[in-house]
Amino acid sequence: MWLDKDKAHIVTIDGKTEKFETVQFNIEHYKIHGGFGTRFKGSPQDVVQDSKYLEREKHQFKAYLKAITDKVNDSSEIVLFGPAKTNERFAKTLQENNDTLAMKIKAVKKADSMTDNRIKAWVRDFFASSQ
């Protein structure tokens, strides 16, 4: 499974058959919007409620991981790869909350953005070399 913060590409290989599925998710990206006067010492500053945004992002991320978990629950082996730390965060969440699925993780790897065909080829190569 290739995943980042916006989507997960799930490749399922069962013998000779291959299935490719994408799970889209729109997690809000946290951005601070500064007001006027933020460059000058003693001038008014905007108050940013970052805890509110971070809490909302945390709940959205949990829902995203739940959607992915539901798709891969029947898998016998899982490899996580992607360009950001989302794959590591997903693996950690599984280890904390879903021991059965966490034991199926064979590797967590870094990988750049890829086309759909490159993702399929990467998964095929990974499992072919691990056998």
Structural domain that includes position 13: 2-28+48-129
Q: How would you class 122 by CB atoms within 10 Å of its CB: exposed for 0-12, middle for 13-18, buried for 19 or more?
A: middle
Please, which pLDDT band fits residue 29 given cuts at 50, 70 and 90?
low
Inside any domain, residue 42: no
Rounded Cα distance between 71 and 113, Å, is 21
Inside any domain, residue 34: no
**What pTM, to 2 d.p., does this model score?**
0.77
Contact 59, 51 (CB under 8 A): no
Q: What pLDDT score was predicted for residue 25?
A: 82
CATH of the domain at 99: 3.30.420.60
Q: Which residues contact 22 (CB under 8 A, 6 or more apart)?
A: 7, 8, 9, 10
Q: What pLDDT score was predicted for residue 119?
A: 94
pLDDT (mean) for 3-24: 90
Please, which pLDDT band fits residue 65 given cuts at 50, 70 and 90?
confident
